[in-house]
Structure 1
């Protein structure tokens, strides 16, 4: 079984649960940017939670089934494509995803999983380190694995769609005391705009500059998904799936892991509020 890629859209990558536990060796976790949406797509098809699937950024993906396969699409809703329910693709049938009206990343799972060769135990594409398979390209033929689990009891999953302005809770970071009280008020009171420089590594946010009370260099420290780091520009960066394992700028706060899934659906021009 296979899926032939006719068009990858702006960016399509293979993702799974990533490579946890390797940060001490300098290997980031990577994996799906919106883990909840990826997990739902696999659950709808009875796949193992670790099954690989396609993460589609801003739509545009077109695939053709080599043989009949079951697929499920979750995350950002793409016009013209079935959403949040198992769908049968007959041999030779095409599936084309238009650009989503809301949200950024969609997840296309296939029953049996995308069976590209794993690297360090994962099939995830890590855009920062270059580990894993390269981004999907036109003409790629993606092998599909053999389904091992039973079908789930549900055949549709109503879920809330992404919103244009998102409000999430911010917890204090290890270097919160490097910033003025006014900077903390600004951070929690600003509607930060997601810039076009954002990617799977992180969201670059535009707004007022956050003022420090301490200058100087900071030794590299460990980073996790959800860290809000402030570089010399004073404009915060919220790290996503392909974040580095260490960083040298102060981390003012953290967004809870479950909320990072929702942050991963923000597109350039959307706004984010970080409530402390």
Structure 2
């Protein structure tokens, strides 16, 4: 392998390779996948001079540590965290030069959940169905990183962005999700529909890349039985028999049999990627556009 590679020193709780995902394959049962916080992934790519669809690393809560085999430029964004290079403090949210063999340590999230690490040239693991993204549901793409994994890098495309720091949204203190009711809102009682858009839920620690699970009010159904499986979309709010809403994220299944009470606006989903367990969640009903 050439020196355009990077070794994983510390993989962290869950670090995966992500890009813009593989949309357009739902009819084959393949989820979209891709970075949960798309704007954060695109920004770190821009900071190091990569195109917006270059593959990056997505970390979860505990960060990761990496050692490049050649000099590279990196940028860390998404959830704020402490960054060091060779044990010395380095900038978060800005381009940083990492010498060959030095360890880039991306620390635990100070706020939020998911961090993004872009490397000049991008991560060039083998693409599957046009994407390098790890899909936890289907198993497509590279497996989650483990200690000792070696990641190939693409050719560097200078120059990187000449900025001291780039503004990034703070992780939400309260997650407000705009939702269009339906298509199965008629499966719920009037009291449940009022509770869905008037009461406060909280992010569950059981949330993952498949869905943001909630704790709080139980939404009562108006009818018994279950639906036949039907297609699911990104942002669908499915309500299992326990009555607590689940917002489908990038690795969601393409079909499901629990009723969908509403669909979250796609523009609100990046904030959901950064909502830590316990974060208050409110669903705000909006008209279909």
**Above 0.5 in TM-score?**
yes
| Partner SS for 1:99 | strand
Structure 1 residue 243 corresponds to structure 2 residue 236:
no
- Counterpart selection for 2:64 from 56, 61, 83: 61
Please name the residue that 1:146 is paired with.
Answer: 155
Question: Residues 226 and 149 from structure 1, CA distance in 2 versus in 1: closer, same or farther, beyond 3 angstroms?
Answer: farther
TM-score with structure 1 setting the length? 0.96
- Once residues 71 and 182 of structure 2 are traced to their aligned partners in structure 1, the CA distance between those partners, rounded to angstroms, is 49
Please name the residue that 2:105 is paired with.
Answer: 96
Please name the residue that 1:217 is paired with.
Answer: 226
**Pairwise CA distance, 1:191:** 2.0
Q: Could you tell me whether the CA contact under 8 Å between 1:204 and 1:237 is conserved in 2?
A: yes
**Pairwise CA distance, 1:229:** 0.3
- Once residues 163 and 110 of structure 2 are traced to their aligned partners in structure 1, the CA distance between those partners, rounded to angstroms, is 26
- Once residues 200 and 160 of structure 1 are traced to their aligned partners in structure 2, the CA distance between those partners, rounded to angstroms, is 20
After the TM superposition, which of the residue ranges 173-182 and 48-57 deviates more from structure 2? 173-182
- Once residues 70 and 151 of structure 1 are traced to their aligned partners in structure 2, the CA distance between those partners, rounded to angstroms, is 8
After the TM superposition, which of the residue ranges 29-38 and 40-49 deviates more from structure 2? 40-49
- Once residues 49 and 106 of structure 2 are traced to their aligned partners in structure 1, the CA distance between those partners, rounded to angstroms, is 23
- Counterpart selection for 1:184 from 176, 183, 193: 193
**Pairwise CA distance, 1:154:** 4.8
Please name the residue that 2:23 is paired with.
Answer: 20
- Once residues 209 and 7 of structure 1 are traced to their aligned partners in structure 2, the CA distance between those partners, rounded to angstroms, is 40
- Counterpart selection for 1:5 from 4, 8, 15: 8
**Pairwise CA distance, 1:190:** 2.2
Gaps of 5+ in 2: 85-90
Structure 1 residue 35 corresponds to structure 2 residue 41:
no
Structure 1 residue 259 corresponds to structure 2 residue 268:
yes
Trace 1:42-81 onto structure 2 (pairs within 5 A).
42-81=45-84
Q: Could you tell me whether the CA contact under 8 Å between 2:172 and 2:271 is conserved in 1?
A: no
After the TM superposition, which of the residue ranges 96-105 and 10-19 deviates more from structure 2? 96-105
Structure 1 residue 167 corresponds to structure 2 residue 176:
yes
- Once residues 237 and 262 of structure 1 are traced to their aligned partners in structure 2, the CA distance between those partners, rounded to angstroms, is 15
TM-score with structure 2 setting the length? 0.91
Please name the residue that 2:87 is paired with.
Answer: none
Gaps of 5+ in 1: none
Q: Could you tell me whether the CA contact under 8 Å between 2:17 and 2:57 is conserved in 1?
A: yes
Q: Provide the alpha-carbon RMSD of the alignment.
A: 1.4
**Pairwise CA distance, 1:246:** 0.7
- Counterpart selection for 2:124 from 102, 109, 115: 115
**Pairwise CA distance, 1:60:** 3.2
Equivalent residue pairs, number: 276
